[in-house]
Structures are given as C-alpha cells and as structure tokens.
Amino acid sequence: MGSALAAVLALAGAVFPWPVPIAASSVAQVRSGQGDAVSREVAVFNDLPTQLAGDSVSREVALFNDLPTQLAGDSVSREVALFNEVPTGLANDSVSREVAVSSPPVLPTSFQVFRGIRDAGTLASLFELDNDLMDIRRGITANPTEAPITLILTGASPLANPTALEFSVAARVNTVGLQVTLDLFDWVANRYDPTDVTVRNGSTTFSRVFVTATNPARYVRSGTREIRARYRVRQTGPTTTQTWRSLFDQAVWWVEGSN
C-alpha cells in the first residue's frame, strides 16, 4: 500500500501541484462516517471505505484515490472520470455512479509532427500520465491558416461501429496567448470534421482537452478500423516567449460499444 500510495501521490503532484495539509480531525470524521464531504486531506491516506461520506466525490479525492465503481455521489465530472480511466463517451458532462467497468484506453500506434519541432519524447510518452513528456515547439508553416504546432495521431479502434468515441489529451503550453484545437478525422467525408471540434485557450498547467464524436462510426475507417485525431496550437495573443511550445503527457482514445 505504501509504495502504491507514493506512486499515486507523485503522479498527482506532478500533474496538479498543490500543498496538502493533513488534518487528523477530517480523517477521523470521514472514517467514522461523519461529515458531509470528503476533504482533500483525507485523500492522501488512500484507504477510504468504499462508500464515501458526503453527497459527492471531489476532484481531489478522485485524483488521489483508486475510485470504487459504486460512487457515493450521483455523478462524477468528465474531467475526474478521464483521470481515473472511466469511459466518458456520453452526450452530457457526467458519468453516472452505475458505471461499473472502465474500458482501457486506446493508445496511439503512430504520430506525425506535421508542423513544429519535436525536442523530446517518443510515441510511448503519450501512453500514460507519468511525466514522460513529448515536447514540441513551434515551427514554420506553409501558409497562415496552418498551426505552428500540429500533432497528428493514429490508432486502431477495437470496434468497427462504436456507440461512443472520445479523444483526450493531457498537455500544457509554456505561455499565455495560445489557442488549442482538437479535432477528429471523418473517414466518410475524408477530412477533419469541422463540427466535432474542441477549441480552448492553452493552459500553462497540465489539463485535459477532449473531443467527443457525435457520430462515432464515421471516425473509424472501414476495414482497418484506423482512427485519427489532430492537436493544433496557434498564437492568438501576446506571448511571454517566441519559442512557445506544447508538452504532452498523454493522448488516448476512449471507445465504447459492443462487438
């Protein structure tokens, strides 16, 4: 338990650094079933009972603990679910507590740095949240419509006709003033889909960016089951450095359905 807890704490601290004061009274309250919430301090101990106290599970608790399949709260946010490898290919932003089995993520089988310069990292750097990072800095572009950082990822879907498909990336940029775009390749239209797109301001701390398919089967290539996604970074405002870059810790698909 001790070594496993140390590994969890090291990972969570690397991705979400924060001071964690330990409050013995909070621990005692939750272990005795009292109180209406599970505090951040309690999460450090990683030995909570299966039925957690309170009406919801906080993001900190979810990150620090191996969540049981039956959660005390009515829902878990999409971000919490992603960090705990719960399938999240749903139309809304919550995962019900009845979700009992987590499907393994679909790992990329290849990547292409279409625009940009890779300074560190390999394909395996994208498999796990382990601080083994792929580092890509801005490169030259052929025209103004291209993003100076463009990473294209390819994988193989376990299902030919999935009912849900989501692609997520855990990454950060090294300056403000950048915009991140994540989209999926539509094999029916033979293009990156202009509808199922996520666009957000780049974060200088590690966070998840994800895009969910509204028509999952269109993103799985007939015959080969190839799936493809694209992650782009472009400048939209003043930056603190001209050599801006993006660092990637994980990039995976979540594919749900039945054979």
Using 50, 70 and 90 to split pLDDT, how confident is the model at 259?
low
For 226, other C-beta atoms within 10 Å of its C-beta total 17
State residue 258's pLDDT score. Answer: 73
Helix-, strand-, coil-residue percentages of the chain, each rounded to 5: 20, 35, 45
Report helix, strand or coil for 253.
strand
User: At 40, which helix (H) or strand (E)?
Assistant: helix 40-45
Alpha-carbon dihedral sign for residues 71, 81, 16, 249: positive
pLDDT digits (tens, 9 = 90+) for 192-248: 999 999 999 999 999 999 999 999 999 999 999 999 999 999 999 999 999 999 999
pLDDT of residue 161: 93
**What residues contact residue 73 under an 8 Å CB cut-off, 6+ apart?**
52, 54, 55, 56, 57, 97
Q: What totals of helices (H) and strands (E) does the chain contain, helices first?
A: 5, 12
Each residue of 141-187: pLDDT tens digit? 999 999 999 999 999 999 999 999 999 999 999 999 999 999 999 99
Predicted local distance difference test score (pLDDT) of residue 94: 36
CA distance 190 to 58: 41
Check if the beta carbon of residue 224 is closer than 8 Å to that of residue 134: no
Gap between the Cα atoms of 165 and 130, Å rounded: 24
Torsions phi, psi of 60, nearest 5?
-65, -45
What does the DSSP assignment read for 173-188? Answer: ESSSSEEEEEEEEETT
Q: Is the pLDDT of residue 45 over 90?
A: no
Q: Is the separation of the CB atoms in 159 and 245 below 8 Å?
A: no
Give the DSSP per-residue string, 228-241: EEEEEEEE-S--S-
> Which has the closest alpha carbon to 255: 185, 173, 146, 167?
167
Domain map of the chain by residue range?
A: 2-96, 108-256
Cα(first)–Cα(last) distance of the chain, in Å? 37
Query: Any idea how long the chain is?
Result: 259
Residue 51 has pLDDT above 60, yes or no: no
Q: Is the pLDDT of residue 87 over 90?
A: no
Q: Does domain 108-256 have CATH number 2.60.120.260?
A: yes
